[in-house]
A and B are shown apart, each in its own frame.
Chain A
Amino acid sequence: MSNIITLPAGTSAEPLMAVRGLSVAITGTTGERQLLSDIDLTVNARSVLGIIGESGSGKTILSRALVNWVRQPLKVTSGTVRYGGLDLLTLPEAEMARLRGREIAYIGANPTSALDPTVPVGHQILEKLRTVSPQLSREAAHKRVIDTLDAVRIPSPAQRFDEYPFQFSGGMMQRALIVDALVSNPKLLIADNITQPLDVTVAAQILRLLRDLQKDFDTAVVFISSSLGIVSEIADDLIVLDRGRIVEHSPVSDLLHKPQHAYSRELIAKVPKLWSLGGTIPQPSSGEVVLDVRDVEKTYEVRDRKAIFAHRKVKAVRGVSFTVRRGENFGIIGESGCGKSTLSRLLSCLEAPNSGQILFEGQDIASLRGADLLALRRRFQLLLQDPYNAIAAHCSIGRTIAEPLLIHGLGNRNEIETKVKAVMTEVGLPETLYDQLPVGLSAGQRQRVNIARALVLEPELLILDETLSALDQVEQAKLLDLFETLQARRGITYVYISHDLAMVRRVCARIAVMYLGRIVELADNETMFERSAHPYTRALLSAVPTVEHKPYRMETYLLEGEPPDPIDIPPGCSFRTRCPFAFDRCAIDDPVRGADIGVNTSACHLRADSLPPADAASPSNGAPA
């Protein structure tokens, strides 16, 4: 590190990194296209600079340009990135390599694929530390890695050191990568959208952690994100990026309350709102019961590597009961691993539950076989998240939508064609697409094809398993309107399975919150969001990244830790390990939720009125103008 000028600590006048006139272009068959134009920014020592922009605004390219990680077909066309008296962009590869991981660390958005999948996580961090600081003895390096793992609150770090990347959850992996970045005490950390793949409670924990560590380690952070709610939690200053240009640069509170640029105002308006919503809240229906789920359980078996001929039981769904009435929007929310996808597979009869019943209009779907099952399948349909893999690429769109009619043998060729075209019009697909292949359709259009394929059978119940999660907000809103119109016209019942609380808030009348394979709370929309009775629901709501006033404060409800392993579920209440209100009884006695139909229920020993009161500030002072 001899020829690298490092800044003496405490000289805050000199910026740590200064970017001037940076432009990046992509060279393709159609010539050059500018992706970043004329970027100027300054990172001061020990500060947090936030960069916000929508997908396609050039955030990731900018974050990579800061560590001189710009590869073909991308090219830096002008500008400098000055760090400690050097221009990183013109630095020879060997000298750049000496800065990377030592003085400048980088964490990306995809923690699960960032490390070699075949080598234990701790060993890879150790490998990096030993490369970066070869003077450290093996024992000292080992100890430092374990200490840093402990500092990011990874439980039993000595044991975790020897575990493999696939044994880490997304949140734990992101923590491990933070360790990897900070273990060499860098001066600058570039964090590119690091909370994006994480659940809200985990993302909030990571954010809190990074804020603490940034102070402890005296590191400057460039925090890039597409969520204003998240970046405003951590940054001092914010840069707004729109189509490769900086349109605004101001302190966070100024940006939230006095945005200067039209695009910044647009961004703020787009942040999902849960409480300052306006409009009417969906009300429960009083129709007949369409779907009656009674105490359903599903357990998977996985082989145990540590014992001979032994299996470990993964309890994915543990006694779930609820009812859905005709014409109602029922929401099931929960974070990854809570069992909502398994539940959707059970509801759509792709798998049978180990015990319990799923009654569709009074008929147990688990007992049906052959022709009866096929007949029943017509009446409820499943729509999944990924609009790309759900459509056969070699089939014309008309044929894809007609497929269910052919399977069920409904109508001759002409009738089918008329019916398919009618449905296409109904979901907003032009009839001209009938004979075309799905190549070149947008995600939204593809999802419409899926919806048309489900609707052509005139189902009574649609199960929407994260159906809208892959779409942008504009497209999502359009499809929600479509669902609403279809419901009014056809009286369809929807079960929304989602992690998107803002969407559920907008459309669902009754909502079930799942945690570790159970419904911990089931309530109508208003009760759930305003007066939730379960600590987990409150923690979940407190962690939603919004810029409005929240009735639940993260400091009160969100503890460290992640859901327990569904293989070793602790006795007593399964949420107690993360519950700020847990007391003695919770460790022994597993609270059960009353199964009364149409009543708000919660699985907690505490009565709702013994939880702290919700901050019922008037909605108007939370939302920035």
Chain B
Amino acid sequence: MAFAIEFFLRRIGQGLVIVLLVAFVIFTLLRIVPGDPIRIILGPMTPASVLEETARNLGLRDPILVQFGRFVTQVASGDLGRSFIRGVQGGSTGGSQDSAGFDPESRASVAELIGTALPYSLQLAALGIVFTLLVSVPLGLAAGLRSGRWPDRLGLYVSSFLVSLPNIWVGVVLIFLLSAKTGLLPAIGYKGFAYTIIPAMVLAIELSPVLIRAISVSVAANLGETYFDVGLVRGLSRRAMIARHVLRNAAVPLFNLFGAQMIGMLLGGLFVVEYIFSYPGLGMLTINAVFQRDFPIIQAVAILASGVLVAINMLVDFASTTIDRRLKF
């Protein structure tokens, strides 16, 4: 119990520092790359004096550290700010409707925008993971338990094949085959759960090869450990050794792979997949925000993403140290 408390206190502390650093880097980069958001907010026809005044009102002409300090205080009080571009109704405004001046109150709150988009992304990610597990666990286990024989080779071929498919291309092909050609599933936009299936398949195709290989390597390595053979000689059955010991030991590297690599791949995959399918999730929101230099949204999503990564890694490491007590924390 003491271990769990110390573990979480320590890791939450470290996690906050990481999130803060990520936020600072994103914040600074956004402000030093070319592209002035004011021009996009107010439109190309706005006089220079109005541009300058709006920029100063929004605080965009202050030193970056001052801006960042203000931003952090604001986030700490629970306010993620308001979008530069999107109206309260959610649509992108842009253009010249604000040429007379900019009223932040007419813009949508970032928290609400994220709150609307997040459930869609979570649903897509969850279904993607379910598909990945459905493919990888049986294939990976079969390959690992029969190392060097046909299931092993099947696992290798399937994962080599899947890993060489670019997800943009897979997305387009699946839309063509399952939606345009046969009409089995809907593809573009979102009007119900069925719209999640094809995008989730694309995610699964990206994630599966890594997991298939990792499961088979990890299981095969544990079958080669001394404790497995000794277990059989001690009088335990092969089935019991696999169910109670091999799978347990094999899980530790898999947890780490999941936390360190797969969550990153999943986040990246969401952006691409949502964009291809016009899926109204967090990825879509962010990509549009990047095109429109909508700083508040980009910053909030970056913080959210790094927070999710830190939190999942914390849970994964906790699970690993609980299974294998030798691990340092």
Residues of B within 8 A of A339 (CB): none
Contact of B2 among A119, A128, A306 (CB under 8 A): A306
Residue of B nearest to A309 (CB): B6
Residues of B within 8 A of A471 (CB): none
Q: Is the CB of B232 within 8 A of A117?
A: no
Residue of A nearest to B235 (CB): A101
Q: Is the CB of B3 within 8 A of A116?
A: no
For window 35-77 of A, CB contacts with B under 8 Å fall at 67, 69
Cβ proximity bits A304-337 to B, threshold 8 Å, 1 near / 0 not: 0111110000000000000000000000000000
Residue B184, interface by CB 8 Å: no
Give the CA-CA distance A105 to B230 in the complex, in Å.
11
Q: Which of B244-252, B292-300, B306-314 contacts A (4 or more CB under 8 A)?
A: B244-252
Cβ proximity bits B226-243 to A, threshold 8 Å, 1 near / 0 not: 110111111111001000
Q: Is the CB of B248 within 8 A of A116?
A: yes
Cβ proximity bits A108-131 to B, threshold 8 Å, 1 near / 0 not: 101001111111000000011001
Q: Is the CB of B5 within 8 A of A106?
A: no
Give the CA-CA distance A305 to B6 in the complex, in Å.
9
Residue of A nearest to B225 (CB): A113
Q: Is the CB of B326 within 8 A of A308?
A: no
Cβ proximity bits A542-577 to B, threshold 8 Å, 1 near / 0 not: 000000000000000000000000000000000000
Residue A184, interface by CB 8 Å: yes
Residue of B nearest to A108 (CB): B230
Residues of A within 8 A of B245 (CB): 116, 118-119
Give the CA-CA distance A250 to B324 in the complex, in Å.
48
Q: Is the CB of A114 within 8 A of B328?
A: no
Closest chain-A Cβ to B219's Cβ sits at a distance in Å of: 14
Q: Is the CB of A101 within 8 A of B249?
A: no
Count, chain B residues at interface, CB 8 A: 29
Q: Is the CB of A118 within 8 A of B323?
A: yes
Residues of B within 8 A of A131 (CB): 235-237, 240
Residue B33, interface by CB 8 Å: no
Residues of B within 8 A of A108 (CB): 226, 230
Contact of A132 among B230, B235, B244, B323 (CB under 8 A): B235
- With known contacts A131-B237, A308-B5, A115–B244 Cβ distance under 8 A: no
Q: Chain A interface secondary structure, helix, strand, loop or mixed?
A: loop
Residue B329, interface by CB 8 Å: yes
Residues of A within 8 A of B233 (CB): 67, 69, 100-101, 106
Q: Is the CB of A305 within 8 A of B2?
A: yes
Contact of B6 among A106, A115, A127, A308 (CB under 8 A): A308
Residue B325, interface by CB 8 Å: yes
Q: Is the CB of A308 within 8 A of B2?
A: yes
Contact of A116 among B2, B9, B227 (CB under 8 A): B227
Residue A583, interface by CB 8 Å: no
Q: Is the CB of B235 within 8 A of A128?
A: yes
Q: Is the CB of B249 within 8 A of A118?
A: yes
Residues of B within 8 A of A116 (CB): 227, 231, 244-245, 248-249
Cβ proximity bits A164-204 to B, threshold 8 Å, 1 near / 0 not: 10100000000000001100100000000000000000000
Q: Is the CB of B227 within 8 A of A114?
A: yes
Residue A303, interface by CB 8 Å: yes
Q: How many A-B residue pairs have CB under 8 A?
A: 82
Closest chain-A Cβ to B14's Cβ sits at a distance in Å of: 14
Residues of B within 8 A of A127 (CB): 236, 240, 244
Residue of B nearest to A97 (CB): B237
Residues of A within 8 A of B252 (CB): 118
Contact of A101 among B236, B244, B248, B324 (CB under 8 A): B236
Q: Is the CB of B236 within 8 A of A128?
A: yes
Residue A499, interface by CB 8 Å: no
Closest chain-A Cβ to B134's Cβ sits at a distance in Å of: 27
Give the CA-CA distance A69 to B229 in the complex, in Å.
9
Q: Is the CB of A305 within 8 A of B237?
A: no
Residue of A nearest to B238 (CB): A97
Q: Is the CB of A100 within 8 A of B232?
A: yes
Closest chain-A Cβ to B91's Cβ sits at a distance in Å of: 51
Residues of B within 8 A of A164 (CB): 325-326
For window 185-235 of B, CB contacts with A under 8 Å fall at 225-227, 229-235
Give the CA-CA distance A350 to B269 in the complex, in Å.
47
Give the CA-CA distance A184 to B325 in the complex, in Å.
28
Q: Is the CB of A117 within 8 A of B248?
A: no
Closest chain-B Cβ to A8's Cβ sits at a distance in Å of: 23
Give the CA-CA distance A409 to B7 in the complex, in Å.
48
Residue A160, interface by CB 8 Å: no
Q: Is the CB of A97 within 8 A of B3?
A: no
Closest chain-A Cβ to B232's Cβ sits at a distance in Å of: 7
Residues of B within 8 A of A340 (CB): none
Give the CA-CA distance A131 to B232 in the complex, in Å.
12
Give the CA-CA distance A118 to B3 in the complex, in Å.
17
Residues of A within 8 A of B328 (CB): 303
Residue of B nearest to A120 (CB): B325
Residue of B nearest to A164 (CB): B325
Residue A102, interface by CB 8 Å: yes
Give the CA-CA distance A115 to B245 in the complex, in Å.
9
Q: Is the CB of A166 within 8 A of B249?
A: no
- With known contacts A114-B226, A303-B329, A100–B235 Cβ distance under 8 A: yes
- With known contacts A306-B3, A308-B5, A113–B237 Cβ distance under 8 A: no
Residue of B nearest to A115 (CB): B227
Residue of B nearest to A103 (CB): B235
Give the CA-CA distance A135 to B231 in the complex, in Å.
21
Give the CA-CA distance A306 to B9 in the complex, in Å.
15
Between A and B, 28 residue pairs with Cβ closer than 8 Å are A67-B233, A69-B232, A69-B233, A97-B235, A97-B237, A101-B234, A101-B235, A113-B227, A114-B227, A114-B230, A115-B227, A115-B230, A116-B227, A116-B245, A116-B248, A117-B326, A118-B323, A131-B235, A131-B240, A132-B235, A164-B325, A164-B326, A181-B234, A303-B329, A305-B2, A306-B2, A308-B6, A309-B9
Please list the 5 inter-chain residue pairs (A to B) with the smallest Cβ-Cβ separation, ordered nearest first: A101-B235, A113-B226, A116-B245, A305-B3, A114-B230
Using A100-B232, A180-B234 as known contacts, list a sample of 20 further A-B pairs with CB atoms less than 8 Å apart, ordered by residue number in A: A101-B233, A102-B235, A108-B230, A114-B230, A116-B245, A117-B227, A118-B252, A118-B323, A119-B244, A119-B248, A127-B236, A128-B235, A128-B236, A132-B235, A164-B326, A166-B325, A181-B234, A303-B328, A305-B3, A308-B9
